[in-house]
């Protein structure tokens, strides 16, 4: 095969995988700290709220950086897709960003505030919940497809606002709530951990229902997705995915009831990745469904190669020092433990 | 009512990026200052360096959070509001931003966790290392984003194929002609901005008779830095101006409000004040010094540089904003040199801490650097117009296919949310400053890593923070 043709085929595939890794990292890592924010209003006391905050305080900044890598990565590797998807999902993107602004500053303001602390509690919980909701709306808006003409978004400003997108929004709130709950099960003690475990038991069935409905809704509403899943031989290769998901969910349920502290968190990460894999299978190789593929939207090979070299060197180092900080702040946050 | 999406998108970007730059403009210098304090603490054992470092770390935490969240917004706005820009120059600008994320953002955001929460949990050496990594990360971030911005000002190392920019030579792209000057100018500006905040805080305490040696140390360190960096910044700025004259002469003509070289007139005057009249292509109420413009920009008595009339009207930048913003920036620069030198002289004569008439106004100099940074960015960004990437893409062509009302809605929300966040930030930083440096119980482990780091609570810090001000 001609080398340059090979490169123009492989590079976009490699980059779509790297982008998928970045977004998966974001969904898992910021998922648990947004989820903690979603559960924040249900904390029974200020002590419990402080404990919840402390469990993510050293990490949230780094977690959110994966969102910049996701958006930045799309810009770097697939500038055409970035230039179509962002205007198409204009309002939910900006609503999500504004919600993140609120919750991000609430971390620090809440800590310095005295009498106005309750306001930042509200900003923190509201911001976290809305950010999660609009991330789900973005997912739904992306999966359902974007109208493209002449390599540009050609739809209206509210095209994304469908029942499916809103449904995905609620699904992501439930999902982040679940991973936040099992994070707290792992990282806190006492009342906070007990409450988190109870929340996790409520949220796990809810998340499964959302996943189930989306799994049925997408093939019914979008024939391209039905073709991908329900034709042979794909059907046989892909059937294990929902089965493994159900099995893992059953394990998580058991671990929650058995009083396990760490396993539920890693089990829920597994559930997230399986759901994520399912979406990937439904979409790939499209990057702007239903019309543009990763190859059609790719940056110039010279740009993708230049960035790939940096990524191959930097990503292991980045993952290394992130792991180091998680290790440094390992262990549980006890009752009465402060922030800073 | 019809909204013009280009105008609204420009207002929105100007608003969100002006809001954002305030925070890195402060935290780049502050991270370096805190790292310096910690190194001094370890080297000398003097506890005041530790108290000052912890005090400013609290302010850093609040400022950095505002910088991070307003920065995430920007990384998406290229796509939401300027999608055609993203498509046309994405091949070149994209990787620069990608490298910023991978080399700088993760570094600063991750080590920030240790910097803020590791005081009682990690050995001093590791804490200092984390501070240095945060400072290094913020500077590296400035490196990449200023490279991207400079490429938009003075593109190099690329070729345009079918209207899309493609990279040819990455070194030429990264180190494009205006980048070294812009980078030096901005990093120096960040350090000066931080130094003026530290100076104002120190002066406030000295004037009020609080925090004795801590306050005097702040003032000494800040004044020492200002006395050296403020004049150096004037030199860097002058070099940056000469570079701009070489590569973007229309910007220079605009910021000097220089319309034409009249036949028979030798040399270009320096316009001290005027109301630029763009419709009539002249200045009203002009006060100018003959030949000084030539002297500053060509370093010769009779030298000339192009006037605005040499450019077609649709190739000219707006005049009033660069003209006035440039004068604000230079005015502040001169004031900074005066404060730095006079303060250093008082310090040398051992009279600084008794000179109340100087200390009283010094308490209020903290905004100087911020205003200078914003003015400077107004000069360079408005002066780049009508281009978003000089010679490659005009701003009017860079816009996303989004409706005016959608942009108007989000603009209103940005103003509302940023207004609340900014007021909150200023209020809480003021509170932290009013509380001042606190004595903190330290149980920093000297060696080895504790097994349950989170568990060793920061009760002391919390108590100190919750204690009412003096």
Structure tokens at B23: 């925070």
pLDDT of residue B468: 39
pLDDT of residue B52: 93
pLDDT of residue A3: 56
> Residue A28 — φ and ψ, nearest 5°?
-70, -50
**Chain mean pLDDT for chain B:** 88
Instruction: Give the pLDDT band of residue A330 (cuts 50, 70, 90).
Output: confident
pLDDT in tens, A272-302: 999 999 999 888 888 888 888 888 888 888 8
Q: Is the pLDDT of residue A5 over 80?
A: no
DSSP annotation of A289: T
pLDDT of residue A2: 55
Segment A43-70 mean pLDDT: 89
- With a CB cutoff of 8 Å and minimum separation 6, the contacts of B237 are B185, B330, B333
DSSP annotation of B309: G
Nearest to B19 by CA among B77, B105, B59: B77
Find how far residue A26's CA is from the centre of its chain.
Answer: 5
Nearest to B369 by CA among B343, B348, B339: B339
Among A residues 118-157, those touching chain B with beta carbons less than 8 Å apart: 151-154, 156-157
Quote the CA–CA distance of B72 and B69 in Å, as a whole number: 5
Maximum CA pair distance of chain B? 81
ipTM of the complex: 0.88
Cα of A288 to nearest chain B Cα, Å: 14
Residues of B whose CB is below 8 A from A93: 76, 79-80
pLDDT of residue B460: 37
Beta-bridged to residue B389, according to DSSP, are B393
Q: Is the pLDDT of residue B297 over 90?
A: no
Task: Tell me if B121 is assigned to some domain.
Answer: yes
Task: Tell me if B147 is assigned to some domain.
Answer: yes
Segment A261-277 mean pLDDT: 94
Q: H or E element: which one contains B414?
A: helix B404-435
Residue A321, SS3 per DSSP: helix
> Residue B287 — φ and ψ, nearest 5°?
-120, 120
pLDDT of residue B165: 93
Nearest to B94 among A61, A75, A91 (CB): A75
Q: H or E element: which one contains A1?
A: none
Q: Is the pLDDT of residue B467 over 50?
A: no
Cα of B439 to nearest chain A Cα, Å: 15
Question: How many other CB atoms are found less than 10 A from the CB of residue A90?
Answer: 28
Quote the CA–CA distance of B137 and B131 in Å, as a whole number: 10
Nearest to B418 by CA among B36, B37, B19: B19
pLDDT of residue B2: 62
Cα of A189 to nearest chain B Cα, Å: 11
Distances in Å between the Cα of A194 and the Cα atoms of A103, A200, A253, B322 are: 25, 10, 15, 60
Cα of B416 to nearest chain A Cα, Å: 10
Q: Is the pLDDT of residue B273 over 80?
A: yes
Quote the CA–CA distance of A201 and A216 in Å, as a whole number: 24
Segment B93-108 mean pLDDT: 92
pLDDT of residue B143: 96
Q: H or E element: which one contains B273?
A: strand B270-277
Q: Is the pLDDT of residue B465 over 50?
A: no
Nearest to B167 among A64, A84, A303 (CB): A303
Segment A168-189 mean pLDDT: 95
Residue A235, SS3 per DSSP: helix
| Contact yes or no for B101 and A322 at CB 8 A | no
Q: Is the pLDDT of residue B108 over 50?
A: yes
Quote the CA–CA distance of A255 and A249 in Å, as a whole number: 10
Segment A299-309 mean pLDDT: 90
pLDDT of residue B404: 85
Residue A326 touches partner B, C-beta closer than 8 Å? no
Nearest to A203 by CA among A227, A221, A185: A185
Among A residues 18-77, those touching chain B with beta carbons less than 8 Å apart: 54-55, 57-59, 61-62, 64-65, 67-69, 71-77
Nearest to B69 by CA among B353, B418, B395: B418
Q: Is the pLDDT of residue A110 over 90?
A: no
Quote the CA–CA distance of B97 and B77 in Å, as a whole number: 13
Q: Is the pLDDT of residue A4 over 80?
A: no
Segment A37-56 mean pLDDT: 91
pLDDT in tens, B205-253: 999 988 889 999 999 999 999 999 999 999 999 999 999 999 999 999 9
pLDDT of residue A128: 96
Write down the pTM of the prediction.
0.89
Structure tokens at B90: 């994405």
Domain that holds residue B144: 5-254+322-466
Distances in Å between the Cα of B13 and the Cα atoms of A98, A188, B9, B18, B381 are: 14, 42, 6, 8, 11
Question: How many other CB atoms are found less than 10 A from the CB of residue B36?
Answer: 17
Q: Is the pLDDT of residue A233 over 70?
A: yes
Instruction: Give the pLDDT band of residue A319 (cuts 50, 70, 90).
Output: very high
Segment A66-78 mean pLDDT: 89
Q: What percent of chain B has pLDDT over 70?
A: 93
Q: Is A6 exposed, middle or buried (0-12, 13-18, 19+ CB in 10 A)?
A: exposed
pLDDT of residue B223: 95
pLDDT of residue A93: 94
| Contact yes or no for A114 and B68 at CB 8 A | no
Task: Tell me if B261 is assigned to some domain.
Answer: no
Instruction: Give the pLDDT band of residue B380 (cuts 50, 70, 90).
Output: very high
Cis geometry, peptide bond prior to residue A233 (ω within 30 degrees of 0)? yes
Give the sign of the dihedral formed by CA B387, CA B393, CA B397, CA B399: negative
Nearest to A11 by CA among A275, A325, A312: A312
Distances in Å between the Cα of A85 and the Cα atoms of A157, A261, A304, B69 are: 12, 40, 19, 21
Count up the domains in chain B and report the number. Answer: 1
| Helix axis angle, A46-56 to A190-221, nearest 10° | 60
DSSP annotation of A333: B
Structure tokens at B11: 């207002």
Please answer whether residues A154 and A84 qualify as being in contact, where contact means their C-beta atoms are separated by less than 8 angstroms.
no
Quote the CA–CA distance of A308 and A318 in Å, as a whole number: 15
| Contact yes or no for A80 and B87 at CB 8 A | yes
Residue A154, SS3 per DSSP: coil
Residues of A whose CB is below 8 A from B166: 300, 302-303
**Cβ–Cβ pairs < 8 A, chains A and B:** 272
Torsion of CA B37, B39, B40, B42, to 10 degrees: 120
pLDDT of residue B454: 41
Nearest to A144 by CA among A297, A293, A286: A286
- Extents of the domains making up chain A: 3-328
Q: H or E element: which one contains A23?
A: helix A3-39
Where is average pLDDT lowest: A111-115, B189-193, B384-388, B398-402?
A: A111-115
| Contact yes or no for B98 and A321 at CB 8 A | no
**Chain mean pLDDT for chain A:** 90
Please answer whether residues A339 and B462 qualify as being in contact, where contact means their C-beta atoms are separated by less than 8 angstroms.
yes
Residues of A whose CB is below 8 A from B71: 68
Please answer whether residues A32 and B69 qualify as being in contact, where contact means their C-beta atoms are separated by less than 8 angstroms.
no
Cα of A88 to nearest chain B Cα, Å: 8
Nearest to A153 among B95, B401, B417 (CB): B401
Question: How many other CB atoms are found less than 10 A from the CB of residue B212?
Answer: 12
Nearest to B369 by CA among B412, B405, B340: B340
Question: How many other CB atoms are found less than 10 A from the CB of residue B418?
Answer: 22
Q: Is the pLDDT of residue A49 over 70?
A: yes
Structure tokens at B31: 């991270």
pLDDT of residue B452: 38
């Amino acid at each position: 095969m001609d080398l340059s043709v090979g490169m123009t085929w492989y590079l976009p595939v490699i980059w779509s995988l790297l982008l998928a890794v970045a977004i998966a990292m974001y969904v898992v890592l910021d998922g648990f700290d947004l989820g903690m924010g979603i559960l924040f209003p249900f904390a029974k006391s200020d002590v419990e709220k402080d404990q919840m905050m402390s469990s993510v305080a050293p990490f949230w900044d780094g977690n959110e950086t994966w969102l910049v890598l996701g958006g930045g990565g799309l810009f770097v590797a697939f500038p055409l897709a970035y230039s179509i998807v962002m205007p198409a999902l204009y309002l939910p993107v900006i609503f999500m960003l504004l919600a993140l602004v609120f919750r991000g500053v609430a971390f620090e303001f809440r800590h310095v505030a005295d009498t106005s602390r309750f306001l930042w509690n509200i900003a923190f919980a509201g911001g976290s919940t809305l950010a999660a909701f609009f991330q789900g709306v973005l997912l739904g808006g992306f999966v359902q497809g974007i109208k493209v003409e002449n390599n540009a978004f050609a739809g209206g400003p509210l095209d994304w606002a469908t029942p499916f997108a809103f449904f995905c929004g609620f699904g992501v709130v439930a999902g982040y709530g679940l991973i936040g709950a099992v994070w707290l099960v792992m990282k806190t003690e006492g009342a906070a951990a007990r409450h988190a475990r109870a929340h996790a038991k409520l949220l796990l069935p809810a998340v499964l229902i959302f996943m189930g409905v989306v799994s049925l809704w997408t093939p019914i509403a979008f024939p391209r997705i039905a073709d991908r899943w329900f034709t042979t031989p794909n059907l046989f290769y892909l059937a294990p995915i929902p089965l493994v998901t159900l099995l893992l969910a059953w394990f998580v349920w058991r671990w929650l009831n058995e009083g396990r502290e760490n396993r539920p968190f890693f089990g829920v990460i597994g559930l997230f990745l399986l759901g994520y894999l399912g979406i990937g299978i439904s979409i790939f190789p499209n990057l702007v469904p239903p019309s543009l593929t990763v190859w059609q939207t790719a940056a110039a090979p010279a740009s993708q190669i230049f960035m790939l070299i940096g990524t191959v060197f930097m990503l292991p180092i980045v993952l290394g020092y992130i792991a180091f900080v998680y290790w440094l702040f390992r262990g549980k946050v006890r009752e009465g433990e402060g922030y800073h | 009512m019809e909204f013009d999406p280009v105008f609204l998108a420009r207002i929105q970007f100007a608003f969100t990026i002006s809001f954002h730059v305030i925070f890195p403009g402060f935290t780049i210098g502050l991270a370096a200052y805190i790292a310096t304090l910690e190194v001094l603490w370890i080297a000398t054992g003097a506890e005041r360096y530790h108290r000052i470092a912890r005090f400013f770390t609290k302010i850093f935490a609040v400022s950095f959070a505002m910088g991070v969240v307003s920065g995430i917004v920007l990384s998406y706005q290229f796509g939401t509001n300027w999608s055609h820009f993203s498509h046309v120059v994405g091949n070149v600008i994209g990787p620069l931003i990608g490298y910023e994320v991978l080399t700088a953002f993760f570094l600063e955001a991750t080590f920030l966790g240790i910097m803020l929460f590791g005081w009682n949990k990690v050995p001093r050496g590791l804490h200092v290392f984390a501070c240095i990594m945060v400072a290094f990360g913020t500077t590296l971030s400035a490196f990449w984003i200023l490279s991207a911005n400079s490429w938009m000002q003075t593109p190099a190392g690329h070729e345009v194929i079918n209207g899309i920019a493609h990279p040819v030579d990455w070194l030429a792209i990264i180190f494009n002609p205006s980048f070294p000057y812009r980078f030096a100018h901005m990093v120096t500006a960040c350090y000066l901005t931080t130094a003026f905040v530290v100076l104002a805080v120190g002066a406030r305490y000295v004037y009020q008779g609080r925090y004795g040696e801590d306050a005097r140390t702040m003032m000494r360190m800040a004044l020492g830095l200002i006395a050296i960096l403020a004049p150096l910044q004037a030199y860097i700025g002058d070099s940056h101006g000469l570079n701009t004259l070489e590569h973007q002469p229309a910007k220079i003509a605009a910021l000097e409000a220089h319309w034409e070289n009249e036949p028979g007139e030798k040399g270009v005057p320096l316009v001290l004040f005027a109301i630029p009249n763009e419709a009539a292509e002249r200045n009203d109420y002009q006060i100018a010094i003959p030949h000084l413009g030539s002297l500053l920009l060509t370093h010769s008595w009779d030298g000339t540089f192009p006037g605005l009339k040499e450019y077609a009207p649709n190739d000219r930048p707006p005049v009033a904003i660069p003209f006035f913003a440039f004068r604000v920036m230079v005015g502040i620069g001169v004031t900074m040199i005066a404060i730095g030198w006079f303060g250093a002289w008082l310090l040398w004569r051992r009279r600084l801490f008794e000179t109340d008439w100087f200390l009283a106004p010094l308490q209020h100099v903290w905004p100087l650097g911020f205003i200078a940074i914003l003015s400077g960015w107004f000069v360079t960004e408005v002066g780049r117009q009508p281009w978003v990437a000089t010679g490659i893409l005009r701003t009017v062509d860079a816009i996303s296919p989004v409706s005016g009302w959608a942009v108007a809605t989000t603009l209103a929300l940005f103003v509302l949310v940023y207004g609340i966040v900014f007021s909150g930030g200023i209020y809480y930083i003021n509170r932290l400053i009013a509380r001042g440096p606190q004595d903190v119980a330290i149980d920093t482990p000297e060696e080895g890593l504790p097994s349950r780091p989170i568990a060793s609570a920061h009760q002391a810090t919390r108590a100190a923070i919750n204690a009412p001000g003096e």
